[in-house]
Amino acid sequence: MGALPERRPGVASPVVPVHVGIIMDGNGRWAAGRGLPRAMGHRAGAEATRRVIEAAAEAGVRWLTLFAFSSENWRRPASEVLELTGLLRHYLRHEVSQLVRDGVRLRVVGDRERFGVETAAEIERAERLTADGQRLNLNIALSYGARAEIAAAARAIAREAAAGRLDAASVDEALVERHLATRDMPDPDLIIRTSGEQRLSNFLLWQSAYAELVFTDVLWPDFDARHFTAALSEFARRERRYGGACVV
């Protein structure tokens, strides 16, 4: 990943979402359309990830969450899972130094332990080394499922109630949010999904209650700064009402 470009001073910006989530879809179809193995699609998708991180930082987005590997992806063929986890380890080992230079803080959301001791240690190392980054908060959702996240929060709250540490009547939305994996992050303002599919696929279901949704037919390996900017422009045209008056 190359160095992130500096924002140009003195240039007026449109309404920019604070937090963007992206469901990165279409690697397999991109490869199939070119007669290539799926692994080549995932590698091309990794290049698209680099481009979008740069585009997000350039646009002034403060939080970027990428849905890289869902809890359901473990059902894929073992060879494909092996390729994906290998790409993850390569990224963690070889890209972190650039993230540090670019002021990007990396965090992983999901069941990291399922990837094994070696990969979990690489994740912890990357998070530690990038902890001081202040330009962009980059969250990677790995072995993540929103329903499982909400269920885990419910179990934690139930344990506290059973232990007498809280009154069940005090459980509200704020309490649930404090038990989610994203508890110290703002909710996403914008969710982008590539490849033409128009669903959330168990991604940030609680957090996306009022997010704007943008769907594009572009396959993830072809997604670049132009497409990201187009999604931000679409977001800027939306009127965000939150069930009430328009929020400008």
**HSE-up of 70 (CA within 13 Å, CB side)?**
17
> Any known ligand binding at 28?
yes
> Any known ligand binding at 212?
yes
> Any known ligand binding at 201?
yes
What's phi and psi for 225, nearest 5 deg?
Answer: -60, -35
DSSP 77: -
> Any known ligand binding at 196?
no
> Any known ligand binding at 76?
yes
> Any known ligand binding at 243?
no
Q: Which residues contact 240 (CB under 8 A, 6 or more apart)?
A: 189, 210, 212, 246, 247
CB 242 within 8 A of CB 222: no
**HSE-up of 45 (CA within 13 Å, CB side)?**
28
> Any known ligand binding at 26?
yes
> Any known ligand binding at 206?
no
Reply yes or no on whether 25 is catalytic. yes
Other C-beta atoms lying within 10 Å of the C-beta of residue 214: 20
> Any known ligand binding at 237?
no
The residue among 42, 68, 53, 43 whose CA lies nearest residue 144 is 68
Q: Which of 25, 102, 111, 189 is catalytic?
A: 25
What region, left, alpha or beta, does residue 23 occupy, with left being phi > 0 and alpha being psi -120 to 50 degrees? beta
What helix, strand, coil percent values describe the chain, rounded to 5? 45, 15, 40
> Any known ligand binding at 27?
yes
Which run of H or E residues covers position 157? helix 146-162
> Any known ligand binding at 50?
no
Which run of H or E residues covers position 19? strand 19-23
> Any known ligand binding at 79?
no
> Any known ligand binding at 97?
no
> Any known ligand binding at 199?
yes
The residue among 104, 106, 119, 95 whose CA lies nearest residue 47 is 95
Residues contributing to the annotated binding site for substrate: 26-30, 38, 42, 70-72, 74, 76, 193, 199-201
User: Binding site membership: which residues?
Assistant: 25-30, 38, 42, 70-72, 74, 76, 193, 199-201, 212
Q: Which residues are catalytic?
A: 25, 73
Please report, in range form, the residues annotated as the binding site for Mg(2+): 25, 212
